[in-house]
Amino acid sequence: MKRLLIISFIILACLIVFPNTPAFSQDQEQASHPSSDKNLPSKILISQGTWIIGAGTSLGFSSGSTILDTDHFGKETNNYVDFSITPFVGYFVFKGLEIGPVIGISASDDNDKKNKDHATDVAYSFGIHGRYYIDMDSIVSPFFRLSIGYFNEQATHKVDADLEEDRIDSTMNISGTAFAPGFGVAIFLNPHISLDFLLSYVILDGNGQVVVKNPDATEDFKYNDSSFNASVGISGYF
């Protein structure tokens, strides 16, 4: 995981320090004041000095697997489905490249009143992200995305059974590093709005602790998670 973080920081640093690549070498003045045959929203909006504000939400799924490796509870692998929203702000430091902060929020609440089974899960993350848009001379602009940050997840599970030995009361807390490269497409609906489709590969690496009552037990564990996440969002440019 540390190697991935180092590589990602190097990539972002190279994009900032060496902007004179073919993608960046186009005339910025022409992009700001394009000729009539290239008066496209994408030409104007991805130019240096533009701000972008957006939010993405999953398309109803984020499928993957989680591995919890502990001494007391053993090794457990879970498949899951998740839903989240990810607002962000960015600034185009060069033509095609925007960088800014990003946060992620997800929550779930599963209450089975019949079996007196209640489970909650709240997770958040924050960090930095970057997008590099490919100029296609059209209203459609593919882009590469990279985000790095910190995540924290807190989950509870309670079963209020009639028999004491069947009751469950557990809490789990996990924190660590989040790394997510991705590829997407922005479709510019008008000069200030684009519809974004993004596919990301999310890698989480951290540590956690689970506390269980009845019987009482506490265990620290190593946490690893990887998943593909498909999302759709909307972005505003000004």
CA distances from 173 to 65, 80, 212 (A): 18, 18, 12
Q: Which residue has the higher pLDDT, 12 or 230?
A: 230
> How far apart are the C-alpha atoms of 142 and 63, rounded to whole Å?
23
Band (30; pLDDT cuts 50, 70, 90)? very low
Band (93; pLDDT cuts 50, 70, 90)? very high
pLDDT at 4 over 60: no
Q: Render pLDDT for 209-232 as a digit per residue (tens, 0 to 9).
A: 988 876 678 889 899 888 888 889
Quote the domain boundaries for residue 10: 2-237
Determine contact, residues 211/221, Cβ cutoff 8 Å. Answer: no
pLDDT at 198 over 90: yes
pLDDT at 197 over 90: yes
> What average pLDDT does range 23-49 have in this prediction?
49
Look at residue 120 in the predicted model and tell me its pLDDT.
Answer: 86
Band (203; pLDDT cuts 50, 70, 90)? very high
Look at residue 58 in the predicted model and tell me its pLDDT.
Answer: 59
pTM assigned to the model: 0.68
**How many domains does the chain fold into?**
1
Look at residue 82 in the predicted model and tell me its pLDDT.
Answer: 57
Look at residue 168 in the predicted model and tell me its pLDDT.
Answer: 75
> What average pLDDT does range 97-107 have in this prediction?
89
pLDDT at 34 over 50: no
Q: Render pLDDT for 120-174 as a digit per residue (tens, 0 to 9).
A: 888 999 999 999 999 878 889 999 999 999 999 999 988 876 666 667 788 999 9
CATH of the domain at 155: 2.40.160.20
Look at residue 25 in the predicted model and tell me its pLDDT.
Answer: 36
